[in-house]
Amino acid sequence: MKRIVRSVFMSAALVGIGAGVACKAEAAEPNHPSLNPNKILNIAHRGASGHAPEHTMLSYEMGQKMKGDYIEIDLQMTKDGKLIAMHDETLDRTTNGTGPVKERTLQEIKRLDAASWFNEKYPDLARDEYAGLKVPTLEEVIQKFGRGANYYIETKSPEVYPGMEEKLLSILNQYKLTGPNVPSSKVIIQSFSPESLKKVHKLNPAIPLVQLLWYDRNAAVTDAELEEYKTYSVGIGMNFDKIDKAYVQKVRKHGLLIHPYTVNDKKDMRKLLDWGVTGMFTNFPDRLQEVLQEK
């Protein structure tokens, strides 16, 4: 979920999700995305990836059982134009394959083992059923979890995959996850790329968008930047360890949601909630659920 970009606007990082700008003018526009800013979102990062191999069906299932509010899906695109759930542009880290995703067809990728790496890296968490799990497509995830689930989708490296946004919106429309009778909160799209988000916003202004940011040093954002983000997104997300209370409150004062990533320690979760974040990404949605129940 991590990608370093120099300027703030091109910068990156995961984001937050959830809740819309609650102003009366926007409420009057039926096509303007709105999310409840008072609902703290528990976003299962790549599924419950602290417990199971990331971006596998079992990880997503576990995230649901642990009360994650959203199935978080990073998208890559195969040589034959299929959208798959994978964080990296290359196959090396999370499969027994090698090389760029864009140079392999879906059929080739489906032959790979997408989970044995987890058993090897985390022997204390290893399970026999993880070995041999396959890389899911976006459509397979939607087919399994259906319209009852919420989806938090990232266009990863969209500059590498021309047409990714159109394919994504076509699938969401096909499975009736967008449209006039669908809650704005059903699908949230995030990206490190402002261009990708603005493209989605132009194609379908009713979908809530989140601008991802990455900070190498203590986070700082200007009023002008926040107002620019508001022209196409409902919130921003960033690496949690570089922000402070003043940053969070400034973002919220501008009516934007804020969902830092990736927060795995309960102490950090409590601190961020006290500062006023509207959600966060975690590899351990069960831990965040416990913290939220304390409130």
Which residues are known to be catalytic?
Answer: 45, 87
Cβ neighbours around 22 below 10 Å, total = 13
Query: Quick check: 184 and 17 in contact, CB under 8 A?
Result: no
Report d(CA 212, CA 153) in Å as an integer: 12
Structure tokens of 222?
A: 């200007």
Sign of torsion over alpha carbons 93, 95, 100, 106: negative
Q: Kindly give the pairing relationship between strand 70-77 and strand 83-85.
A: antiparallel
Side-chain-side CA neighbours of 172 within 13 Å: the count stands at 26
Report d(CA 42, CA 168) in Å as an integer: 23
Query: Quick check: 131 and 169 in contact, CB under 8 A?
Result: no
Report d(CA 145, CA 44) in Å as an integer: 14
Structure tokens of 216?
A: 């190498």
DSSP state of 159: G
Using alpha carbons only, give the angle 130, 16, 250 rounded to the nearest 5 degrees.
155
The 3-state secondary structure of 23-53 reads CHHHHCCCCCCCCCCCCCEEEECCCCCCCCC
Structure tokens of 140?
A: 């397979």
